Amino acid sequence: MDYYKIIGGKKLKGEVEISGAKNAALPIIVASLLADGETELHNVPNLKDILTIIKVIECLGAETEFNTEKNILKIKINKIKKAEIPYDLVKTMRASVYVMGPMLARLGFADVSLPGGCAIGERPIDIHLSGFESLGAEIGVERGYVIAKAKKLKGTRFIMRKVSVGATINIMMAAVMAEGETILENCAMEPDVVDLANFLIKMGAQIEGAGSERIVIHGVKKLKPVTHTIMPDRIEAGTYLLAGAITRGEVTITHAVPEHVSALCNALSEIGFIIKQGNDWVRVSAGKKLRGVYVKTLPYPGFPTDLQAPMMALMTTLPGISVVNETIFENRFTHVGELRRMGAHIETEGNMAIVHGGKKLSAAPVMMSDLRAGASLVLAALAAKGISEIRRIYHSDRGYEKLSEKLSMLGADIKREKGGGY
Ligand code: UD1
């Protein structure tokens, strides 16, 4: 298995181009199932999760051609077929459950393995399922699979009990071809939801309010295939800004949407970093005096949970005390133990972490436990003195395109090595 070897201590400097957003591309690829014909998607990141979702739609009869050099994915749908989505695919990536929405809309039937637990808490899909029920589907569980059936989906008013990106996306995809009007309340306002809605609107769907708490959908009978460019990845963008910050360098992210990283930039400014930005770029550089910070993760436009672990790596290098309050997922502190192995002083209690900063991080062999925890270890290793070896990098392969190449271009000493048994 591959691992990263990082010699820390280099200040990162330069520009890095942000790839297409994984979390927007996943539902958009799935939404292509809603129309017969050829969909063409641009700026699709070449990531493990994208290859998994491609396999998922292929189960349902899609023909695909992914040009990984040009990041163009062509998807051809002749007729979608009834098929079950196996546990192997859903367990590697929970977003596989997104096919339920389009399957219900087009086939009146969905048969998808239940995801089960995962490294960052329980992550149930009950809100997705109650939304489908509200649209008229019957839901059952057999042999570990959720089976949803509906002769005809009918418009409804559905209030989500909790803000959920996945449920907003899945229910919206089911409702676009339901009969009549659907009103969704307490929706996720994440840019990924908006990018999907824009794609669906291009296809002929009638959707208003995406990006707000209330989405109104008027069902249409048919959608057409279109060409669409995936928006930039705000979590990747945030990770590179944090890489600049943790090494006290000067990093500019390009091909980005500055508004999407506002919560992070506010926190970085509060710490004392200097943030400059233009239409599609943001630059971070170190200020004269830095201090600790309090960060609470919240649904968009709040501080994203996906940047919590990378942010915590930065906190370990700040003077004084910083605090993290993780309100989205339970059990999202799996990076803490590994950061401690690198010399960090972090206490946790429930969903709070108190970081006693100002300690010099030291290199150590560490292991990724999930995608974003993995990113935090890479950042810590970039700042640490000595040579760190980071294992289980298949986690970061899920969500960071050309991670070592991009960091090397910024001046990091990072190598992807072969071998190592764990
Ligand atoms: C998505 C993102 C993930 C990000 C998360 C929060 C994708 C592919 N993944 O995950 O990177 O960390 O949003 O921004 O886009 N919940 C329920 N029942 C449900 C659904 C969710 O209780 O049916 C809970 C979850 O356990 C969690 C909270 O709602 O506590 C938010 O989860 P959700 O927004 O659904 O996250 P995902 O869509 O899985």
Hey, where are the domains in the chain?
Answer: 3-19+232-417, 22-227
Task: Give every CB contact of residue 241 below 8 A, 6+ residues apart in sequence.
Answer: 251, 253, 261, 264, 265, 268, 282, 284
Q: Is the CB of 125 under 6 A from ligand 1?
A: yes
**SS3 state of residue 58:** helix
59 is catalytic: no
Residue 219: predicted pLDDT: 97
Q: Which CATH number fits domain 3-19+232-417: 3.30.930.10, 3.65.10.10, 2.60.40.1930, 3.40.1180.10?
A: 3.65.10.10
If we measure between CA atoms, which residue out of 306, 327, 316 comes closest to residue 371? 306
Q: Is the CB of 329 under 6 A from ligand 1?
A: yes
Residue 243: predicted pLDDT: 98
Confidence tier at 209 by pLDDT (50, 70, 90): very high
Here the tokens at position 182 are: 């659907």
Which of 94, 146, 164, 305 for a ligand 1 pocket mutation test, highest count of atoms within 8 Å of Cβ? 164
* CA–centroid distance for 35 within its chain: 25
Fold match, 3-19+232-417 / 22-227: yes
Residue 92: predicted pLDDT: 82
Confidence tier at 230 by pLDDT (50, 70, 90): very high
DSSP run (H or E) holding 275: strand 274-277
Here the tokens at position 123 are: 């992550």
Taking the model in full, what pTM does it have?
Answer: 0.96
The CATH number of the structural domain formed by 22-227 is 3.65.10.10
Residue 118: predicted pLDDT: 52
- For 87-123, what is each residue's pLDDT tens digit? 888 888 888 899 999 999 999 999 898 876 455 556 7
Confidence tier at 187 by pLDDT (50, 70, 90): very high
3-state DSSP helix/strand/coil percent for the chain, to nearest 5?
35, 30, 35
- For 291-319, what is each residue's pLDDT tens digit? 999 999 999 999 999 999 999 999 999 99
Strand order in the sheet with 37-42: 63-67, 72-77, 37-42, 227-229
State the alpha helices, DSSP H only, in 272-414. 308-315, 334-341, 371-383, 394-397, 403-409
- For 334-364, what is each residue's pLDDT tens digit? 999 999 999 999 999 999 999 999 888 999 9
Q: Is the CB of 132 under 6 A from ligand 1?
A: no
Residue 90: predicted pLDDT: 85
Torsion, Cα 290 331 186 97, to 10 degrees, reads 120
In this structure, which amino acid lies at residue 201?
I
In the predicted structure, residue 422 carries a pLDDT above the cut 80: no
Strands 294-296 and 321-325: parallel
